[in-house]
Each structure stands twice: as structure tokens, then as C-alpha cells.
Structure 1
Amino acid sequence: MFKKVVIFGVGLIGGSFALALRSAGVAAHIVGVGRSADSLARAQALGIIDEVASDAAQAVQGADFILLAAPVAQTEAILSTIAAHLAPDTIVTDAGSTKSDVVAAARSALGERVACFVPAHPIAGGERHGPEAALPDLYRGKKVVITALPENAAADVERVAAAWRHCGALIHHLSPQEHDAVFASVSHLPHVLAFALVDDIAGKPHAATLFQYAASGFRDFTRIAGSSPEMWRDITLANRDALLTEVDAYLVQLSAMRQLIAAGDGAALADIYANAQRARLQWAATIEAAERKSS
């Protein structure tokens, strides 16, 4: 399907994409580009990529598919570097967790060539990062949201979708604005809360004692605080407006619950907990059904 795939960022996201394409037998040659020579060397040693490239412009020459799996703040710089070196039929996509800022960066960097850029976001990941975290089945049964541009040709959008289907993913479509509003609520806000809670506890004088007794509930709630600080700093700022809306709504909810706790209103608290439990169980059942269907 692809003669030459170039991936910027060969950690968990980019590395897993490479391994999945390799496992599906649809990528003849995979080139890795990144800021860390050591990370790229490890990716090559692990069989994730075939070639390490130190020059981005040279790396993309002759490429028919390019994935940007670097932090979203690097998008415009990468695209500006490679813009003049793209072949007429090269498709460029990304794996960023925010889309409106990525689209703006692509328009600025690519200008009239923006039609070659098809934005996307795989809804998969983990707290580990680096080449060693990459998994060939990371995307199996997981959603990939494509936020196509008006300029994108239908065939190019389908080619990006087909690449992700070869990884085992399920394709969904949203506008960039819809995407950012949705993920501010269900992804970006939870990460902010997890980072904030762990940072708060780590700053207490008796932090060592608190962490000593933290068990599975704390571990599950804060797992995502082990994610890349650089990546989540960029996502937080890139989706600032939508995220602030969600933070404000959460503060209202938290303030209301504080009042109920202070008033000892067990019945009202039980109603909130029961509603949350029902919603959580229904969501989990839906996810499990989708995963069984895709397996």
C-alpha cells in the first residue's frame, strides 16, 4: 500500500503505527525522524523503523505517506521544513490530540498545498512513552477520528482511513471544532485533574506517607499523570479555550458537591454517585461490546 512511510516521532504513538503497518504488510520502507538520535537508534534496533533520518527535508523525498506523531506544538515547524520537498501525491497526516490548532498550523506552513494534509487523532495511548512502549496492536478496536478539511480529496481521506484500518482501528469523522470540544471534556480535563491531584499530594509535607498508603483506586485515577509532561503541556495550551470551559463547569460541580458534603446531605450525594455509576457502567458496556465486535 505504501512504498515509503516517514514518521516524525517514533515513541508510543508513532512507533505503534509503524509496527501495525509492518505487521499488516502494507509498508515497504519506514523512515523515522525525531529530535533524539538515541531514541531513533533504539527504534531501529527494535525493528520499528528501517532507517533513521537526521535531515527532515531529505527524509520525506519520495515518501507517499507521512505521519506527524510529535508534540502538537512542533506541527508548524515540521510542516514548514518539509513543505517544499513533498511530492505531488504525498499524503501527510498527524496523530495530535488537538485539531483546530493543528489545522491552523498546517494552513500557515503549507499554504496552497494544505490539501495534502489530512488531520487525524487515534484515541489510544498510555502513560509510557518512547520506542520501548510501542505495541503492534495498540490501535486494534480503538477509534481514530479524522477531521478532514474542505480541501482534502475524498481519495486522500480514504487512504488515511485505510492506513488506520490496517492498524485495526475504527474510523470516525468530526470537524476540528467538534473534536476539540469533545476531547476537552473526556480526555484533556481528566489529564489536568490527574496531574493536579498528584502534584498536590507530592507537595504536601507528609507526601511519602500518603503515597505509601495509596492503593488501586488512586493508581487507577492517576495513571494518566504518568504521561509525557511536554506533550500534555502542549495539548493543554493548544485547546485552552475549550478546556477552560470544561474546567469551569467542573469547578461548579465540585463546589456543589463540597456544599453537600459540608451539609451532610447524604441523599443528594447518593443521587450523584448513583447517576455517575449508571453512566460509567453503561459506557463500559458499550466499549466492551465494540471491542468484542472488532476482535
Structure 2
Amino acid sequence: MTNLFFNKVSIIGVGLLGASFALALRENGLCKTIVGTGRKEDNLRRAKERGIIDAYALDVRDICEDSDLILLSTPVGAFRDIAVRIKDILKQNAIITDVGSVKGKLVHEIESLMPERVYYIGSHPIAGSDKSGIDDARADLFDNARCIVTPTEKSNEMAREKIIYMWRRFGARVEVIDPFIHDEIYAAVSHLPHIIAYTIVNTIGDIDSKYIEYAGQGFKDTTRIALSSPEMWRDIVIHNRENLLRLLDVFKENVDRIKRLLEKKDSEAIKEEFKSARGLRERLQ
């Protein structure tokens, strides 16, 4: 594929990822008009003033008609309701994608809701931060970031290739992965760590919330992701709960093992546990 041009792109949820997506489209000359929607009109107005979007509306149906590409950039819990609300106004050959970090059953469900000749291709760019607003949006957010594309056996080849090409134009390193395998991977390396970070902070609160004032950089680094949107992460963990319940059992086994070693004052075994973890962590650059 040598060219790609979307006449109209609709972004549902103009936050950090949605706004950065819009800026990347503009930077790469991949669209003519970008429209957006969201819950807060003030945010949408600022996005328009900054040139991130060309126009906005508060009703999702008002922005999706005649769109060539629709991006879902809301908490994943809203995806299905949005798809139901807009499916009867979408033009033929329109493509829907997203930036959600849960795929699995959700991909198949949304795909099944699409009318004939409207195509859904799941995407998950591994980019962003604990920030969530347009003030931190930038066109190069996806540059050199991994982006997982999760088609199914029913996916339209043209739509799949357009989405892959688009992310590569943004500078992303695209990998195609089965939606269910995606959820197994990211339950382990993303969703579980978020649960643990929230739990560590809440543990301090249970002991004495004033202790938080004494935390150093190590605590800040370990728990930075606990600053992430509670609404977004509520939806993620609920939609990936089966994988997370299994992983929480594994995590509990690891915590229980450390507890037993502490009870026995087995310093050598504790050192080996830490050494093993350090060795695995060193593989992450």
C-alpha cells in the first residue's frame, strides 16, 4: 500500500491518546477533516482551538455519519454501547479501530455488531502515561512504540492493511496478535501491575496515610501508574477479569513464598528470589 487518505476521521474520546492520534494523522497528511466528541465541551473547545480537531459535537452520532475512520478512545467499558449507538449511521467501507488495552471477547463482540461492509479492526498502541489530557498530546507519541493489531479470522483484509499501514506511518512497531493472546500478555505485563500499584498505595493508607509523605523515589517509581484514571482501569480489569483472577493467584503464591522465607529468616533464599527477579528485569531495556 503506497497511499492512504481518510476524508473524515471521527475521534470518540479526545484525551491524550485520541488527541495524539489526531495530531499524528495531521503530521502524516493522512486525513482532511477530524471531528471529535467527548463528555466535556470545554475540553473539546480547547482541542479545536489548538487545531487538534476541526469540529466537535457532544452527541456521538453527530460526528460519525460519513466518516471513513472512527477511533474509539474512551474507557473500554463504553465501546459496546458506542458501537450499538452508531452502527446504523455508518457509511459503507467505514473502518472502526480503537486504542483500548483489552481485546479478547470484546473484539469479537464489536465485530459482530458491525453492519455489512463496515469493518472493525482492534488496535492497542503501547504508548501514553498516567496523564490523560490533551495538554500532553503530541504527534510523535506513537513513534517507535509497539502497537498490537488484533484482527480475527473474519476481518476484512483491506481494512486490516489500512490500519497496519496507518500505525506504521505514525512510526509504531506493529505486531499482529490474536485478541485472546493479547489479553493474556497484557494481563501479566500491564493490568496486574496496575492492580498491584493501586493496592500498594491503599496498603499505606490502611497503615497510616501520613506515611506517604516520607516516600522516596523508589516508591514513586513503583506506584506511578496508580495515578492513572480509575474509571479507565476499572473497565480494563473487569473486562480482563478471568486472566487477572488467575494471575492474582500466581502473585499471591509469590508473596506467600516471600512471607514464609521471612518467617524462617532464610536470607539466602530471599536473596535468590530477588536475584531471579533482577535477572528477568534486566532483559527489559
- Both proteins in one fold, TM over 0.5: yes
Distance 1:196 1:45 in 2: 39
* 2:269 matched residue in structure 1: 268
Which residue is 1:162 aligned to? 165
Q: Which moved more, 1:51-60 or 1:264-273?
A: 51-60
Q: How big is the shift at 1:3?
A: 1.2
Return 5+ residue gaps in structure 1 as ranges: 285-295
Contact map agreement 1:11 1:133 (CA 8 A) in 2: no
The match for 1:78 is 82
- Report the CA distance shift for 1:102/1:164 in structure 2 as closer, same or farther (over 3 A): same
Kindly state the Cα deviation for residue 271 of structure 1 after the two structures are TM-superposed. Answer: 1.2
Q: Residue 290 of structure 1 corresponds to which residue in structure 2?
A: none
TM-score by length of 2: 0.94
Taking the aligned partners of 1:73 and 1:253, their CA distance within structure 2 comes to 31
**1:174 corresponds to 2:177:** yes
In 1: Cα distance, 2:83 partner to 2:117 partner: 10
Shift of 1:55: 2.7
Which consecutive aligned stretches of 4+ in structure 1 deviate over 6 angstroms post-superposition? Answer: none
Contiguous gaps of at least 5 residues in structure 2: none
1:139 aligns with 2:175: no
- Alignment RMSD: 1.5
What residue number does 1:7 align with?
Answer: 11
Following TM superposition, by how much is the alpha carbon of 1:164 offset from its aligned partner in structure 2, in angstroms? 1.1
Per-residue Cα deviation, 1:112-161 (whole angstroms, up to 9, x for no partner) = 54860001111112111122121222111111111102221222101011
Residue in 2 aligned with 1:237? 238
Identity %: 37
CA 19–99 in structure 1, closer or farther in 2 if over 3 Å, else same = same
- Per-residue deviation, residues 230-249 of structure 1 (Å, max 9, x unmatched): 00000010000001111110
SS at match of 2:283: helix
Structure 1 length-normalised TM? 0.91
2-structure distance, mates of 1:228, 1:33 = 19
CA contact (8 A) 2:108 2:152 kept: no
The 5-angstrom pairing of residues 115-264 of structure 1 reads: 116-204=119-207, 206-208=208-210, 210-264=211-265
> How many residues align structurally?
281
CA contact (8 A) 2:90 2:118 kept: no
For 2:71 and 2:100, locate their aligned partners in 1 and report how far apart those are by CA, in whole Å. Answer: 10
Give, in whole Å, the separation in 2 of the partners of 1:109 and 1:201: 44
